């Protein structure tokens, strides 16, 4: 499926989930599962789907429950640090920028 902009990516993603009979992206996934089990990778060729820190925070505010921990794993060190700080100060969520090969037990 080819898309030309971010809105099409979002619209197509939601349509695919609805076709699967899901009401949310994480429906049916137990909260006790590790975060990586809940993660799904989406590859969009030729299109940047990056959001700025304000867009990410606005999207995070839509979650129904506060996560136990938030990992910022994308971006240059200064950008990651700014995003982690904003998530922590604006949402009150604990954040970590993991080092390469660092392990966490959740």
What is the band of 21 on the pLDDT scale with cuts at 50, 70, 90?
A: confident
Q: Could you tell me which of 51, 46, 40 has the C-alpha nearest to residue 79?
A: 51
Cα separation of 61 and 102, whole Å? Answer: 27
Burial of residue 72 (CB within 10 Å: 0-12, 13-18, 19+) is buried
pLDDT at position 95 is: 93
pLDDT digits (tens, 9 = 90+) for 29-38: 666 665 555 5
Tokens of 90: 């604006």
pLDDT digits (tens, 9 = 90+) for 47-104: 445 567 888 888 888 888 888 888 988 778 888 898 899 999 999 999 999 988 888 8
Specify whether the CB–CB gap between 59 and 53 falls below 8 A: no
């Amino acid at each position: 499926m080819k898309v030309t902009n971010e809105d099409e990516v979002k619209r197509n993603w939601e349509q695919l989930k609805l076709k699967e009979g899901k009401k949310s992206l994480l429906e049916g996934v137990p909260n006790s599962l590790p975060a990586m089990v809940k993660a799904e990778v989406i590859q969009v060729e030729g299109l940047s789907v990056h959001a700025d820190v304000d867009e990410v925070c606005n999207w995070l505010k839509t979650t129904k429950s506060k996560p136990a921990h938030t990992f910022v794993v994308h971006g240059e060190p200064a950008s990651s640090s700014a995003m982690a700080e904003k998530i922590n100060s604006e949402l009150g969520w604990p954040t970590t920028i993991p080092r390469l090969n660092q392990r966490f037990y959740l």
